[in-house]
Structure 1
Amino acid sequence: MDDDRRHFLRAAAAALAASPWLGANAQTGVDTPHPHDMSQMPASWTGKEQIGMVMYPGMTALDFVGPQYMFASLLGATVHHVAADMKPVKCDTQISLLPTATFSQVPENLDILFVPGGGAGTITAMQDASLLRFVAEHGRRAKWVTSVCTGSLVLGAAGLLTGYRATSHWVTTPLLAEVGAIADKSRVVRDRNRITGAGVSAGLDLGLTLVGILRDTLYAETVQLLAEYAPQPPYNAGTPRTAPPEAKAMLDDMFKEFNPMARAAIRKSPGGGAS
């Protein structure tokens, strides 16, 4: 029991040391003024991962920020916020986020390539030749190729999902066949080195999944506890299966033009026309 307790305390200390609350150990371009004594941490809890998180105008902020919180908890990792230039990137809810690197400044070999989703911004991203080229080139070399929400459509448009099981936001899951992917409605889908998350909030699950893969279960559980990630939503309408028909009908109507526009963008992309 004493050994188990010491093991847990070391894990908790590791997560706290990695936490942005105490000065993130994962390097995101921000100084970390609170050094931590890592001498008692197991060697397996510190890595050297290079993580590239793609940014583009109109992306959904929570698609990006949820996984970023989890990635930033990885001791020793470097998290790059990657955009075409260093200007602030305005998200679909008008929040602006700052890049830390441009497409040309990211390490050639990434451990994780991540692409967030969005609405109209994602359709524009699927028609951005330089962005697709960056995603395709780094995706071919990355150890893990990942996305959340409609970010999987960007991966597919870059030709990275052909023959892979993948998920997306429930509205756009039918479009995955257009890029040769096998649609799976699970919240997080792992197929070989491709890991995709469903809509928006699923980014937290995707990020935590990768923390567990890259470290271990106890490390990931401690990060989850630090985040107090224990969802208890006030309503049970988070999926088409549980939402009232009226809510689903409103969203179906709201997005009735999105899928045809996205389909047209996909079919003009390098990864399109696979169906």
Structure 2
Amino acid sequence: MRKLFFYFLFSFFISCDYFKVQEKEDHASNIIAIVNTDKLFKKDLKDVLPKNISAKDSLTLMKSLVQDWAIKKLLLSAALNNNTSESLENIDKLVQDYKESLLINNYKEELIKQQLDTVVSEEEVEAFYLENNANFRLNEVLVKSKYVYFNQAKSVEKEIISLFKSDKIEAAEALERQQLSFKMFQLNDSVWLELDQILLKLPFSKENLLKKSKFIQKQDSLGLYLVAIKDILNRNDIAPLSYVMPTIKEMILHKRKIELIREIEKIIVKDATKKNNFKVY
């Protein structure tokens, strides 16, 4: 019985050694490349290689990835060996500073998401605009205009021109109902648009569109253009509230962010002082 026990014990240790050797062999067989003491394994490239590519393309891509990995490791090794200890310390400090900044900014952003009031009322926007409207000078020419471009069929041409010229609500509604037949249109002349953007769409000169006019027309081989200019604002004029409203909302939210961050910092310092975690000597 005792002999049998020693036999099993001996067999167990032999088996363990076998599996260790086998594991080392399997581990070694998975190595693709070695640079100094760094090893690149098959599993490192498994997720990088795209699926459903041919064996030839896979081999080409793998060679390129191995080459890139080796160059990176060799350059890193050369850089470590050729940098002074002072340079390495400075780099470590920069890395640490960058890591700390990322952590702090991420923490602040999470707090801002949780606590920032993102609702900006029209009253707030208007009040901000009235206080600061002298700072909202235009860098571009704005116009209030409407235009249409349609096939020049005689059966509808007169009707559309008549509706387009009219200031009546019924005429505007009738044009809206026909918009599917227009190649291009802008029928809301109560909004401010950049003149340069309109010029990209319409075959009119800048001089033509810089005059207030109820009706301008021009035809080409494919159809007829109708344009009306209701109002104009030139460069350096004070921008209208409707045009700068999105910008003002962003400015108000940015101001709130800054105030919230300052408040958070005050609370953190106050709390740390109260708990004796922050002392000034």
TM range (shorter): under 0.3
Length-normalised TM-score, structure 2 = 0.20
Instruction: Name the structure where helix makes up a greater proportion of residues.
Output: 2
Length-normalised TM-score, structure 1 = 0.21
**Quick check: which has more Rg, 1 or 2?**
2
